[in-house]
Structure 1
């Protein structure tokens, strides 16, 4: 059996005699902030747009205990995905990387619903009901996409990977005239040039939310023959209109006026 540790050590070899020299650098325009610059460049979240998003949900909720009455309901909106999809621009292209227009915004999240309810105590009198207060928490999921009109989005620059080779002339060997040569690229060497860009991904902030919910019992039964009597149920169908406001932002370099 081979020694895995030895195999890992020999996976790549470097020269142990190579010296560690200094790296060279060049200043990039508009990215160095000088102390005496009255208009410094800072990198901050820039608002691309603010939107009110509306979607509708429907869910079935089951209670293990019989529910006599729902006392209180609290809704909390939770966004777990908010992704703006834009087109790209080639790195090094003269075209402006900034663009404005409509782009799809992919949204995913939950409405956390906490329900406080009364459940009858077993053996209680049906005309004088004793009950315990319990709670149930569910998360109603939603997924949707919407077209949003955003302004001055910094589009992602695309990576590039290019291969190049060199010409090589070789003797053909026995059986061929001496003056003839094999003309082609050198297949024993491989050369690449690769560029990668680390773009700023747009992100969202949740500003506010509004929920309108209808909870309708589907299996309510009463303890007597009259609807005046007390009753209980186990299943609820919920219809919900969800509206929330979000900001779409992106970190960008911005030149600002100095306060001094």
Structure 2
């Protein structure tokens, strides 16, 4: 559309389609009636913790940079393992124990996407992607658990026999073995958030117009995680059906 004197020009048109709105209405879900409280198996949040990760790294830049424009960051976890170190009571009257204290081992890397200008006055913006690894552990104490993890123990036993012909010697050719194996649900982690605080600089200060080929970073990350375990829980079925 124009006023006849100043036409409007679209220099970079692309194909587009105007969508037609569709009618929608609320659907009623079908719930199976139940007279008892069912048991379901779902992930249960054991703990939520914030880990502070402190790393330092040198990132080479090729071609050299004259100015850092932007830096984007993400955290990737490659390992998150809960190792029990203290145990409490048995909630199920068997070989299952609660975990009251544990070490949380984490490993991963910080992915940095660095955009920078070169020394050319009209040079293109360069992009450098670097992955900075980190690893460490934290201790989860009883007060930090919302729900204690549970772990079942396996056992094995061996029964011996006496020599029927000589009651003073045991038999070395006859044994009875018994094994009990409990397969546990492995606790796991989910990322919630990451807060980055960093200082990026050239190890050798560069004057205006000069370039530098190494970017040194000192970075602090407050990484918040959920620790979960798939568990069986009973839910209230009153009102269903």
Q: TM-score range by the shorter chain?
A: 0.7 to 0.9
- Quote the offset at 1:94 in angstroms: 4.0
Q: 1:136 aligned to 115, 124, 128, which one? A: 128
Give the distance between the partners of 1:96 and 1:164, measured in 2 at CA. 21
Query: Does the aligned pair in 2 maintain the 1:160–1:194 contact within 8 Å?
Result: yes
Aligned partner of 2:138 in structure 1 is: 146
The alignment status of 1:113 with 2:92, answered yes or no, reads no
Partner SS state of residue 156, structure 1: strand
CA–CA distance in 1 between the matches of 2:154 and 2:88? 10
Consecutive unaligned residues in structure 2, runs of 5 or more:
1-31
Query: How do 1:212-251 residues align onto structure 2 when only pairs under 5 Å count?
Result: 212-221=197-206, 227=207, 229-251=208-230
TM normalised by structure 2 equals: 0.75
After superposition, the CA RMSD in angstroms is 2.7
Larger Rg: 1
Residue pairs, 1:20-169, within 5 angstroms: 36-86=34-84, 87=86, 94=93, 97=96, 99=98, 101-121=100-120, 129-148=121-140, 149-169=144-164
CA contact (8 A) 1:115 1:136 kept: yes
Q: CA deviation at 1:135?
A: 1.0
SS of residue in 1 equivalent to 2:133: strand
CA distance in structure 2 between the aligned counterparts of 1:191 and 1:99, rounded to whole angstroms: 31
Greater shift after overlay, 94-103 or 249-258?
Answer: 94-103
Per-residue CA shift, 1:143-186, capped at 9, x if unaligned? 1211222133233222111111223323xxxxxxxxxx464333
Q: Residues 7-62 of structure 1, C-alpha deviation per residue, up to 9 Å, x if partnerless?
A: xxxxxxxxxxxxxxxxxxxxxxxxxxx97443000111111111222221111111
The size of the alignment, in residue pairs, is: 204
Normalised by the length of structure 1, the TM-score is 0.70
